[in-house]
Amino acid sequence: MTTEFLYPFQHAQTGDVGALLADVARSTRAKVAEIEALRAEVLSTEGAALAACATAMAARFTAGGRLHVFGNGGSATDALAVASLHVDPGPGWRPLPALALPADIATLTALANDVGFEVVFARPLVAAGRPADIAYGLSTSGGSANVLRGLAAARELGMLTVGLAGAGGGAMAEAAVPDATGRRGIEHLFVMPSSSVHRIQEAQTTVYQVLWELVQVALGPP
């Protein structure tokens, strides 16, 4: 697959260094403008929903709940960042209990090898999750089967379910639609309206940082 549409300056057939650097600058400015616009759109359309989610999360933390965060690939890295942000937020902020499920390599690889990769998040949640806890799943596509299984298992336990997705939300968007009883598989879902994995993950970073800060505000001073 060609990357020329992403990084045209890398494929330029020119010996003009000035022209090459100008292309790099134009590409950088375009990407910065794109993510700024996406972040502004998400925060504008989801502001009230983020506040409602933060209030629900704060209630779970107040009740002694813990946060369980999970995702694959780059989203696994983000899961570790979310957990770290809650556990060790720095001076002046309230530390909150959080676990990044991808960090438990022994459990993840055992389940992937012995049972199947689709259960690597669901099984730990069933084993250690409690009704007061929060399950927080990240996926750029919204279609990660193991993230969906994890959120479904958490919902069955009575945990609060939060999801971050991209593009149209995929199967995660379907799970966020109320069923005939009004029950949602994912109670709070935030979709980044972009087809670029890079922009989706950058916007998700902003969303989880804003959500963390809103939770801190809802809980009050440490």
Q: Could you give the domains of the chain? A: 12-219 (3.40.50.10490)
- The CA distances from residue 189 to 86, 88, 221, in Å, are 19, 25, 27
pLDDT reported for residue 15: 62
In order along its 222 residues, the chain shows pLDDT tens digits of 555 655 555 555 556 777 777 777 777 786 777 778 778 888 889 999 999 999 999 999 999 999 999 999 999 999 999 999 999 999 999 999 999 999 999 999 999 999 999 999 999 999 999 999 999 999 999 999 999 999 999 999 999 999 999 989 999 999 999 988 888 899 999 999 998 999 999 999 999 999 999 999 999 988
Maximum CA extent, the chain: 66
pLDDT reported for residue 25: 74
pLDDT reported for residue 9: 53
- The CA distances from residue 64 to 19, 84, 173, 193, 222, in Å, are 58, 18, 29, 34, 15
pLDDT reported for residue 8: 59
The pTM (predicted TM-score) of the whole model is 0.86
pLDDT reported for residue 64: 98
| Adjacent-strand bridge partners of 188 | 162
